[in-house]
Structure 1
Amino acid sequence: MNKRRKIYCVVTNDLIQDQRMHRICNTLIEIGCDVMLIGRQKPDSIPLGQQKFRQKRLKCFFNKGPFFYMEYNIRVLLYLILNAPYIIYSVDTDTLAACSIAKWIRNRKIIFDSHEYFTEVPELTGRKFVKKIWEALERVFIPHVNCGLTVSESLATILSEKYKVPFHTIYNVPMLNTYDRKPPGENKYLLYQGMLNKGRGLEQLIAAMPMIPSIKLIIAGEGDLSHTLRKMNEDSPAKSRIIFAGWQTPDQLQILAREAWLGVNLLDSKSLNYYYSLANKFFDYMHAGLPSINMDFPEYQRIIGEHNVGYLISDLHPAYIAALINDILKNPEEYYRKKECCAIAAQHYNWQNESLHLQTIFDQL
């Protein structure tokens, strides 16, 4: 690959919180590429921060639903045709149509990066017609991509077999830092960071809190359930110990994680997207030296089985969540062994290692 050629990466978010794409774009800049990250301008978007790569937000009349996806893809298509980058980097199925058509019109190369099992997300449950549309788009376009990337070994296997295109795993991991990992203080707290959306086990976690004495819960993030969860908390006997911290910057999240006692990563097994997922928060907790509770799903089974960095739970019933956390409180020796294992595992799962893998993939295009 001519490393000085333009690479345009396309997402549907507003570029602020997408740490994976920030890392990928910075890596491509470091190997000499001319990189632009393209997203959308939301009504409540905050100003973009300074980055090494260029950033572009497209304004749309529609902000959700089918008309948003149609309008956004049309705007992306026109922008890509006009600027004709050497490589088009499509992130998730909702950017795939515009990026693929631009590839064909301008005779360019395309990379498809599937950050999730898109057609199996909880938001499509019970919406058969909408799901069939997304499945049709994938069947038409994915077999023609030049390279496939995704976030876990399980998804790479599924997508490779389904579309007969090799998918490479690029883990969604942080940079390896040298900051001191603090022992938890006297005021222990659980930490959940991420979207407050359906299927994340947050309702059950809040319901479990009255059964977990003398420990706080900090929920850092916002989402579709923000109002529902806050209203639920108002009626909880543990409401004084549950704190909604809202959106936090990456630096603020690092501080919260380093000072927390236990990370939380709960998911609903009804969603195949969640079942085969490998959340970035799992690695964020690991890098902070923070053991975490995770679902007994394939990717977490494998990594925790190999590296002993956390705990597995198979049932989201509040009583089971509370029982596990109380058991962890009673076994500090095992807990501190897992803290030590987090630091060791971070030496393997870090962006310095993943960036080398990414460079190899791009060099082969």
Structure 2
Amino acid sequence: MKKKVCFLVAEHPFLDARIFKKEAKTLLNNGYEVTMIVPRINGNLFDIDGTPFTNEFPSKTFIHEGVNIITYDRVYLEDKIKYLYYNIQSYCPDRFSDSLTQLGIALEADIYHAHEYFSLYSGFGIKRALRSKGKKAKLIYDSHELVPDPLEHNSTKSRNYMEKMLHLMLKEVDFIITVSDSIKSWYLTLNPSVPVEVIYNSPPLSNDILLNDVYKNQFLAVHEGFIGGTRGNWDKLLKITEICSKTMDFKFKVIGGKRITDQNQLTLPDHLSKRIEIIGWMDYSSISNEIKNADVGWIDLNVTRSLNNKYAMPNKFFSYLNNGVPVLVNKCTDMEQFINTHQCGHVIDKLEASAEDYAEAINCLFLNRNKLKEMSINARRIMKENYSWDHMQKRLCSVYENLKAEE
């Protein structure tokens, strides 16, 4: 009989690349029955940029590409931290009355796979409720990031409750999956008895690509993903382009950008309109064709106010490498170690790199095409040999096999 897996999702779009495209489809292809319980906002499911699906997926339950989808109206549990903490302390499963928990209990799956801090809260309640009914279920916490982030400027009282909750919730977790070695180490200090596996946010290996000619005169940088908040900086990108365009035939391509819900969208000055191309959001499978001819992939993270950013290994990092595109990034712990180990990019030796810093690095790479080509070859090779989703999915399946073996 197939094992029933239930993905618990509190915040992410249901077509999220990691959750749906990679993990859910991998488990489905390996013989598991997969159900996802996912949130609606204002009655609609939503795309990766926040765009609501107004005419698609109207049914509360449906099957999409073989995966069972159950939907519910999103609630914002972060507004009730103290109440949630008391629920966890109470040891009374009846206190977990939120929709995600109740739908999860009704499903009676064998393995629950929570993808955020607040879906872990629901997984905690589900596991206790099922145990009270005599059913043993396993719980995975897929921690895409650290929550609470010790460096974020949220209220001290709220963070203290969240930290206490996390310690308690980890006692019910059977396996932790996370996205970087530093985050893995962080969890092992919290609870060394829970096994942790790192599964990078890497894509399936793209088709064989033709690496860039070392003699070409144009230099193309690419940014993939969101711009805003602590990730990416539009003003900095504009300034990099302005500086570099004075000394070379420089262009910047932007895939993604602002969320559709952001009031202030990206504004492109007239004098840079031929230097910057905004592609916008696109289907996950099409990204490779847009970045494969780039010379560098740019990542700029604010690490002074976010431990998550300091430890980050984001989707775009592996997306660049997968297409033989070296990474240009400021000083982020895990990406710096990876780049230095595999010689697949360039790290600015500053926590806060300026536009001038990036422009200087780009100019050096432009003048040293042979070194850039070597980085490109290394990037493609390591993805092919070790880090593409073809390798990561083996780690995921191993986690599930280990949980099955414990029954």
Query: Fold-level match, TM-score > 0.5?
Result: yes
Match of 1:100 among 101, 124, 131: 124
| Structure 1 equivalent of residue 32 of structure 2 | 33
The answer to which structure has the higher helix fraction is 1
2:258·2:265 contact (CA, 8 Å) conserved in 1? no
| Structure 2 equivalent of residue 351 of structure 1 | 389
**In structure 2, the residue corresponding to 1:259 is in which secondary structure?**
coil
| Structure 1 equivalent of residue 206 of structure 2 | 177
Q: How far apart in 1 are the matches of 2:273 and 2:159?
A: 38
Quickly say closer, same or farther: Cα 1:145–1:243, change in 2 above 3 A: same
1:39·1:58 contact (CA, 8 Å) conserved in 2? yes
**In structure 2, the residue corresponding to 1:364 is in which secondary structure?**
helix
2:254 maps to 1:255: no
2:162 maps to 1:155: no
| Structure 1 equivalent of residue 70 of structure 2 | 56
1:196·1:222 contact (CA, 8 Å) conserved in 2? yes
Q: How far apart in 1 are the matches of 2:210 and 2:77?
A: 41
2:278 maps to 1:241: no
Structure 1 position 228, deviation (Å): 4.4
Q: How far apart in 2 are the matches of 1:204 and 1:210?
A: 10
1:88·1:109 contact (CA, 8 Å) conserved in 2? yes
Quickly say closer, same or farther: Cα 1:208–1:356, change in 2 above 3 A: same
1:192·1:263 contact (CA, 8 Å) conserved in 2? yes
Q: How far apart in 1 are the matches of 2:141 and 2:231?
A: 26
**In structure 1, the residue corresponding to 2:280 is in which secondary structure?**
coil
2:313 maps to 1:293: no
**In structure 1, the residue corresponding to 2:289 is in which secondary structure?**
helix
Q: How far apart in 2 are the matches of 1:166 and 1:221?
A: 35
2:375 maps to 1:338: yes
- 161-170 vs 318-327, greater mean Cα deviation: 161-170
**In structure 2, the residue corresponding to 1:269 is in which secondary structure?**
coil
1:268·1:316 contact (CA, 8 Å) conserved in 2? no
Match of 2:312 among 244, 259, 277: 277
2:225·2:256 contact (CA, 8 Å) conserved in 1? yes
**In structure 1, the residue corresponding to 2:298 is in which secondary structure?**
strand
- 240-249 vs 277-286, greater mean Cα deviation: 240-249
1:293·1:312 contact (CA, 8 Å) conserved in 2? yes
2:252 maps to 1:212: no
Which amino acid is the alignment partner of residue 82 of structure 1? Answer: A
Q: How far apart in 2 are the matches of 1:130 and 1:218?
A: 40
Q: How far apart in 1 are the matches of 2:250 and 2:37?
A: 42
* 5+ long unaligned stretches in structure 1: none
**In structure 1, the residue corresponding to 2:286 is in which secondary structure?**
helix
2:224·2:255 contact (CA, 8 Å) conserved in 1? yes
Structure 1 position 112, deviation (Å): 0.6
* 5+ long unaligned stretches in structure 2: 45-50, 58-62, 85-95, 132-136
Q: How far apart in 1 are the matches of 2:97 and 2:271?
A: 47
Quickly say closer, same or farther: Cα 1:247–1:289, change in 2 above 3 A: same
**In structure 1, the residue corresponding to 2:148 is in which secondary structure?**
helix
2:296·2:327 contact (CA, 8 Å) conserved in 1? yes
Q: How far apart in 2 are the matches of 1:239 and 1:127?
A: 42
**In structure 2, the residue corresponding to 1:177 is in which secondary structure?**
coil
Q: TM-score, normalised by structure 1?
A: 0.88
Q: How far apart in 1 are the matches of 2:265 and 2:353?
A: 16
Structure 1 position 178, deviation (Å): 2.9
Quickly say closer, same or farther: Cα 1:189–1:63, change in 2 above 3 A: farther
State the superposition RMSD in angstroms. Answer: 2.8
2:372 maps to 1:309: no
- 280-289 vs 259-268, greater mean Cα deviation: 259-268
Map Cα deviations across residues 45-91 of structure 1 (whole Å, 9 max, x no partner).
2346942322233234x679637998x98110110111111111111
Q: How far apart in 1 are the matches of 2:302 and 2:347?
A: 14
**In structure 2, the residue corresponding to 1:219 is in which secondary structure?**
strand
Bigger Rg over Cα: 2
| Structure 1 equivalent of residue 222 of structure 2 | 191
Match of 1:329 among 366, 389, 406: 366
| Structure 2 equivalent of residue 85 of structure 1 | 109
2:219·2:366 contact (CA, 8 Å) conserved in 1? no
Quickly say closer, same or farther: Cα 1:318–1:272, change in 2 above 3 A: same
Q: How far apart in 2 are the matches of 1:277 and 1:73?
A: 34
Which amino acid is the alignment partner of residue 341 of structure 1? Answer: N
2:258·2:266 contact (CA, 8 Å) conserved in 1? no
Q: How far apart in 2 are the matches of 1:204 and 1:130?
A: 33
Which amino acid is the alignment partner of residue 107 of structure 2? Answer: N
Structure 1 position 159, deviation (Å): 0.8
Structure 1 stretches of at least 4 aligned residues deviating more than 6 Å after TM superposition: 67-70
Q: How far apart in 2 are the matches of 1:29 and 1:54?
A: 10
Quickly say closer, same or farther: Cα 1:194–1:134, change in 2 above 3 A: farther
Q: How far apart in 1 are the matches of 2:167 and 2:238?
A: 40
